[in-house]
Amino acid sequence: MKSFRLICLAAALAACSTMSGSEYQAPTSGALATLQIRGNALLGRTDLYSFDDQRNCAGTRLLVSSTGIPGQIKKSLKVRADEPFSLLLQSTLGSQRCTVVATMKPAVDKSYLVDIRAIGGICGMVLLDVSDPAFPKNGQSLVSRTYVQTSDWRNARCKEEDVDALLVRPVNRSGLKMSDIKDLLPPASNAAK
């Protein structure tokens, strides 16, 4: 989780509302990290983009697209490490649309799971550090952040100050590690009581 710096980009979302972009060209040299993209999308269209210019929300590159039929999204690709990497999830179903923007800073040789969902009124993106030794634990994951858009998929907005409030923690819902409360933990001798 410490590897993440996740922010939502409030500005320029309008400019991002209609996306078009060429295919993402994965870097082949330098410091790299891996993104594993997976997820479910229902009827409609779901696209995941990156930006060449994440600050200005410009220069979109299509990472993965799902159209028409419900199905699994699955793709793995390389990204530059130690640089901000922005992801934009856009899903449309009829007249409804949701947009989620998140920025992370991949660490070199780390592997990240981008779990995208556009199903059942939820449109969201979970970023997980799958290099973390605690992942997976009993088939579960250490969830870093989840961002869920409006249930009706309308009026999508993404405000930076909303990010923490929007955390949904399907597995480790506290978002904490034991070390975050280490000064309060009962002594090991009492732990089993």
Partner 1 sequence: MLKWFLTGLVSLGMVMPAWALDSDQLFRVLAPSVWLVRTLDRDGLPLGIGSAVVVSPKQLLSNCHVLKGAKSFLLVKEDVSFKGRLEQVDLERDMCLLAVSAPDFNAPAVALGDSDKVQVGTRVVALGNPRALELTFSEGLVSRLEKSERTGLLDKIQTSAPISPGSSGGGLFDAEGRLIGITQSALIQAGSQNLNFALPINWLKDLPARSAEQLAAYYAEQAKLRK
C-beta closer to partner 1: residue 69 or 178 = 178
Based on the shown chain and the rule CB under 8 A, indicate whether residue 184 belongs to the binding site for partner 1: yes
Q: Could you say which residues in the range 83-142 bind partner 1, by CB under 8 A?
A: 139-140
Stretch touching partner 1 by CB under 8 A, among 17-25, 60-68, 70-78, 170-178: 170-178
C-beta closer to partner 1: residue 74 or 137 = 137
Q: Three-state DSSP class for 7?
A: strand
Contact 91, 125 (CB under 8 A): no
**Shortest Cβ distance from residue 110 to partner 1 (Å)?**
20
C-beta closer to partner 1: residue 26 or 167 = 167
Based on the shown chain and the rule CB under 8 A, indicate whether residue 180 belongs to the binding site for partner 1: yes
Based on the shown chain and the rule CB under 8 A, indicate whether residue 167 belongs to the binding site for partner 1: yes
Tokens 């981008």 found at = 114
Cα gap 80→4, rounded to integer Å: 14
- In 33-154, where does DSSP find H-type helix? none
Based on the shown chain and the rule CB under 8 A, indicate whether residue 3 belongs to the binding site for partner 1: no
Based on the shown chain and the rule CB under 8 A, indicate whether residue 12 belongs to the binding site for partner 1: no
**Shortest Cβ distance from residue 189 to partner 1 (Å)?**
10
57: left (phi over 0), alpha (psi -120 to 50) or beta: left
Cα gap 97→123, rounded to integer Å: 9
C-beta closer to partner 1: residue 3 or 150 = 150
**Shortest Cβ distance from residue 157 to partner 1 (Å)?**
5
One-letter amino acid of 130: V
Based on the shown chain and the rule CB under 8 A, indicate whether residue 162 belongs to the binding site for partner 1: yes
**What is the arrangement of strands in the sheet containing 85-93, beginning at the earlier edge strand?**
22-23, 58-67, 45-53, 85-93, 96-104
C-beta closer to partner 1: residue 107 or 166 = 166
Based on the shown chain and the rule CB under 8 A, indicate whether residue 14 belongs to the binding site for partner 1: no
Cβ contacts of 137 within 8 Å, gap of 6 or more = none
Q: Three-state DSSP class for 189?
A: helix
Tokens 């996306």 found at = 19
Interacting residue ranges for partner 1, rule: CB under 8 A: 139-140, 148-151, 154-159, 162, 165-178, 180-181, 183-186, 188, 191-193
